[in-house]
Amino acid sequence: MNAENTFRIFAKKAKKITVLQRRSSYLSCNNLCYAPLKFQLRYLSILLTATNTMPLSVFELFILPEICAIMGDNNKEIGKNSKIDSQSEKSEILEKLDSHKRKFDEIAEKLQSMEKSISKIPKFDEKPKSAKNFVLKHVFNNVIEFEEDKYNYSEWETHFNVNWRISVKRLSNYLAFYTHCKSIAPSCKWSIQTKFEFKAAGRNQNVIKTSEYCYEENNGYGFHQFLGWEEMKNGYLVNGNLTVEVEVRILKMTGFGKEILRNFNESIKDCSDVELVVKDRKFYLCKMFLALQSSYFKSLLLGNFEESQKKEIELKDIDPDDFQNFLELIHGESSIDDDTVSGILQLADMYDVPTAIRRCEEFLLEKSTKSAKKLFEMAARYNLENLKEKCMSGIKTFADFQSILPGEIETLNHSLMAELLKKSRTL
């Protein structure tokens, strides 16, 4: 078997085996040592990068030089004579291979350490998202008995300082489906630019429709002919009940501003060394302070990324008001309330800011007036152990148990689902 074919066989196998198996495989493949150095190195690079745990750039910078040093001498000798004629020569090479294996073990230990560090570094080609998103979901009962042109509503829910609910009704042989919005703020000029995904869940299929709308007053918006009434009866009712939901994405809100507790505008430009731009808004900040608070910003602003050399950096897919509240919090202001905590916690989790996460959890534990269901959803989403324990301890009856279950229970991790199951058996 020639060297190139040997390499191809091993490279093909590399895609099918686990990280630990690959490590032991390339350490025990005696045939590989007979391949030219370029094939050995390329094969090892495939092994190390096959599952994206070791970026190729890291391999070239840190691991490749060590492998070259280990294998260089051996290949010089083997390259001179491609045929091994004597048993003594084979034994000598096997002894060298054993030595190389020990050195590879040392490299493997270094890889494990590096992989742990690399896994914590944010991937800047993946855009973080912190949009104002939420889902309204409701099960309407006895739908077949709905009266013509009469609204049937879900309960009001509060999201981002605005009340929301959904409604359905029978309208001229169709199922009509709407989302209603009502501002909590005093009467003033306001607007909410939204994008919707309306969905009705059927026995074997779903129907989904999307739309955009700008609310400028307390009203509803949706589809007068979302689904044919007969089609709905035949394919979407389960025991006479209909499950519908709306995913709401808020693109822009105006007229809902809160008092600015601390300025990060041009008034402090002289004291800053970086400008973070969120949509059309600039925040003048100090790199070192952000790096001390956040591992994400430490990598972004002080690491070996091109952003670290820039004076102005754009942060995409986040809300400027949420970022203002987040910055106020990490700079010592009391910016957390029931309206701001969701946005702050989302950014604190995204940017890995333990102090901000802890402050948000303390607020949710001690001061929040959010429902038990909403608190449990936040505890599950952001792994807030103390808040989760408080929610679980508050379950005294089966009604309590049902009240905290999220609309999408499959979003819970297995550990939390097991805890809920265990709790339900005590009721």
Chain centre distance of CA 157: 24
Round to whole Å and give the CA distance between 376 and 347.
Answer: 19
In this structure, the answer to whether residues 214 and 272 fall within a common structural domain is no
In this structure, the answer to whether residues 174 and 311 fall within a common structural domain is no
- Whether residue 418 is contained in a domain is answered as yes
Q: How many CB atoms lie within 10 A of CB 158?
A: 17
- Whether residue 115 is contained in a domain is answered as yes
**Which domain covers residue 283, as residue numbers?**
266-424
Provide, for the chain, the percentages of residues in helix, strand and coil under a 3-state DSSP scheme, each rounded to the nearest 5: 50, 20, 30
- Whether residue 261 is contained in a domain is answered as no
Q: Give me 368's structure tokens.
A: 């929040």
Last residue of a domain, one of 99, 120, 141: 120
In this structure, the answer to whether residues 95 and 145 fall within a common structural domain is no
In this structure, the answer to whether residues 246 and 330 fall within a common structural domain is no
pLDDT at 192: 92
Last residue of a domain, one of 98, 120, 142: 120
| Sheet hosting strand 274-278, strand order edge to edge | 281-285, 274-278, 312-314
CA quadruple 256, 261, 262, 264: dihedral, nearest 10: 0
- Candidates 317, 361, 371; CA nearest to 341 is 361
Whether the CB-CB separation of 309 and 274 falls below 8 Å is answered with no
Round to whole Å and give the CA distance between 269 and 260.
Answer: 17
Last residue of a domain, one of 120, 151, 170: 120
With tokens 């009340």, the residue in question is 163
Residue 238 exposed, middle or buried by CB count within 10 Å (0-12, 13-18, 19+) = exposed
Q: How many CB atoms lie within 10 A of CB 297?
A: 24
DSSP for 267-308, written as a single string: GGGGG-SEEEEETTEEEEE-HHHHHHH-HHHHHHHHSSSGGG
DSSP for 94-163, written as a single string: HHHHHHHHHHHHHHHHHHHHHHHHHHHS--TTS---B-EEEEEEEEE--GGGPPBT--EE---EEETTEE
Number of domains into which the chain is organized:
3
- Whether residue 260 is contained in a domain is answered as no
In this structure, the answer to whether residues 229 and 315 fall within a common structural domain is no
pLDDT at 117: 44
Q: What pTM does this model have?
A: 0.51
Q: How many CA atoms lie within 13 A of 288 on its CB side?
A: 3
Q: How many CB atoms lie within 10 A of CB 92?
A: 13
- Whether residue 259 is contained in a domain is answered as no
Q: How many CB atoms lie within 10 A of CB 154?
A: 20
In this structure, the answer to whether residues 244 and 273 fall within a common structural domain is no
In this structure, the answer to whether residues 170 and 279 fall within a common structural domain is no
Beta-bridged to residue 158, according to DSSP, are: 163
∠ at Cα 360 (358, 365), nearest 5°?
A: 95
The one-digit pLDDT tens for each residue of the chain (427 residues) are 444 444 444 444 444 433 334 333 434 444 444 445 545 555 555 444 444 444 444 444 445 555 555 555 555 544 545 444 566 666 776 676 677 666 666 666 655 555 444 444 444 334 444 567 899 999 999 999 999 999 999 999 988 878 999 999 999 999 999 999 998 765 578 899 999 999 999 888 899 999 999 999 899 999 999 999 999 999 999 999 999 999 999 988 888 767 788 999 988 999 999 999 998 899 999 999 999 999 999 999 999 888 888 999 999 989 998 999 999 999 999 999 998 999 999 999 999 999 999 999 999 999 999 988 899 999 999 999 999 999 999 988 888 888 887 766 667 777 888 888 887 878 7
Secondary structure (3-state) at 314: strand
What residue type is 35 in one-letter code?
Answer: A
Reported as type and span, the H/E element at residue 252 is strand 242-254
- Whether residue 125 is contained in a domain is answered as no
∠ at Cα 180 (177, 183), nearest 5°?
A: 175
- Candidates 308, 320, 317, 210; CA nearest to 264 is 320
Domain CATH code at residue 210: 2.60.210.10
In this structure, the answer to whether residues 386 and 343 fall within a common structural domain is yes
Domain CATH code at residue 418: 3.30.710.10
Whether the CB-CB separation of 47 and 20 falls below 8 Å is answered with no
Round to whole Å and give the CA distance between 262 and 268.
Answer: 10
Q: How many CB atoms lie within 10 A of CB 251?
A: 13
Q: Give me 380's structure tokens.
A: 């599950």
In this structure, the answer to whether residues 280 and 383 fall within a common structural domain is yes
In this structure, the answer to whether residues 416 and 290 fall within a common structural domain is yes
Chain centre distance of CA 97: 44
In this structure, the answer to whether residues 136 and 236 fall within a common structural domain is yes
C-alpha distance from residue 6 to each of 44, 99, 199, 204 (Å)? 13, 22, 54, 50
In this structure, the answer to whether residues 82 and 142 fall within a common structural domain is no
